[in-house]
Amino acid sequence: MRSPALQYLLQRLDLEPVAPGVFRDPGGADPLHRLFGGEVAAQALVAMGRTVTPDRPVHSLHTRFIRPGRSGVPIELHVTTVKEGRSFDLRGVELRQDGALVLTATASFQVPEPGPRHPGPTPAAIDPETLPRWEERFGDRRDRLSPLWTRSRPIDLRYVDPPPPLDPTLRDRPRRAQTTLVRADGPLPDDLLLHAAAVVYASDMTLLETALLPLGVVYADGEFDCVSLDHTMWFHRPPRADRWLRYEQGAEVMAGARGLASGRMYDENGELVVTVMQEGLLRPTGGTGSWLAGTAADRTMPEPRR
């Protein structure tokens, strides 16, 4: 059975075609003022994918976030055909609200073809049944998280490592990586594009959180202004989003109040199916919250700017 949050996401991905290459989302009743970046990126992919024949799955997605989207405001998505080839189709899209540009993206789609492969390292198997859902792990402390964190999620998220807000050792022993297990919170239609879109959503949930780990701090309680700047994904083979994916994430670098993090998603057979890179704005707000594992005074952080 699909969770209400997953059903809601599928409704948001069921874009209304209003003209050739133009799609519309009337906007849902989201309690948050700002749209989640993974959601609008997933919508952008679906809009581009609906202009390509279904036999060409996506193999790369490059997304740039221009300004925050507003919940409850209709979205228009304008798709441009950049290339139509025998093997590859390339599409671009602009996502607008009230005429203001919110997001631009390009995606490339390829006819499946045989080719050489080389095996990579296969991570050790993890039994998801031994890990609690994130809602269970945080328990009655969820009310101390920011609304962006506590929103109902269409993805079943399970931390393999201690979640940063609950890790008492993070400040004294910062780390550079974390691993989660993710899958859609219910079955999905047999549509490769929707599976890829759900993976886009899942890939954005904890990646900026990872970028902060080497500082020994967390942003789950709103201590940082965290905004995705760009998000790139390579789909090495079509993923099944309603089956478990092992998501290994690492912090690459932080400079200029920007953090870069990488991610690798492995399927249940240990095959690498998706690689992710994301850069985000991570600007400290200057507060001292209940779950800040380190403080701005302890780290070489600049004064916050608004």
* Non-local CB neighbours of 142 within 8 Å, separated by 6+ positions: 135, 150
List the helix and strand counts (H, then E) for the chain: 6, 12
DSSP per residue over 61-115, as a string? EEEEE-S--BTTS-EEEEEEEEEE-SSEEEEEEEEEETTEEEEEEEEEEE-----
* 108 assigned to active site: no
Which residue(s) pair with 261 in the sheet?
A: 251, 278
Q: Cα torsion at 288, 294, 300, 303 (round to 10°)? A: -10
Which position among 97, 228, 249, 262 bears the catalytic label?
A: 228
Which position among 43, 108, 249, 278 bears the catalytic label?
A: 278
* 228 assigned to active site: yes
Cα(289)–Cα(292) distance, integer angstroms: 5
Which position among 25, 89, 167, 204 bears the catalytic label?
A: 204
* 204 assigned to active site: yes
Q: Which residues are catalytic?
A: 204, 228, 278
